[in-house]
């Protein structure tokens, strides 16, 4: 199996050149895996026949007294 790994910095602003490069790289690609945040931006430019799988981001505070820590109570 073949795969292509393209890496961009966090909060990267995709340019038209990036989008064209990505679309060129999609030849023979079965699906794309990305972050949930980037999926929103990429879904607009990726052809609809290519599935975009994404990693969900979950935020959870595990400290029982988190309100006291944040609010200074």
**pLDDT tens for the chain, residues 1 to 73:** 567 788 888 878 778 788 788 878 877 778 888 888 888 877 777 778 888 899 988 888 787 887 888 887 5
Return the structure tokens found at 5: 């790994």
Residue with tokens 């599935």: 51
Neighbouring CB atoms inside 10 A of 22's CB total 18
Predicted pLDDT of residue 60:
80
What is the Cα 14 distance to its own chain's centre?
12
pLDDT of residue 27: 78
User: What pLDDT is stored for residue 73 in this prediction?
Assistant: 58
pTM of the model as a whole: 0.59
């Amino acid at each position: 199996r073949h795969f292509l790994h393209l890496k961009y910095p966090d909060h990267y602003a995709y340019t038209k050149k990036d989008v064209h490069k990505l679309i060129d790289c999609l030849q023979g690609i079965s699906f794309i895996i990305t972050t949930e945040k980037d999926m929103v931006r990429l879904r607009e430019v990726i052809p609809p026949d290519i599935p975009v799988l994404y990693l969900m981001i979950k935020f959870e505070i595990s400290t029982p007294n988190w309100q006291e820590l944040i609010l200074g109570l």
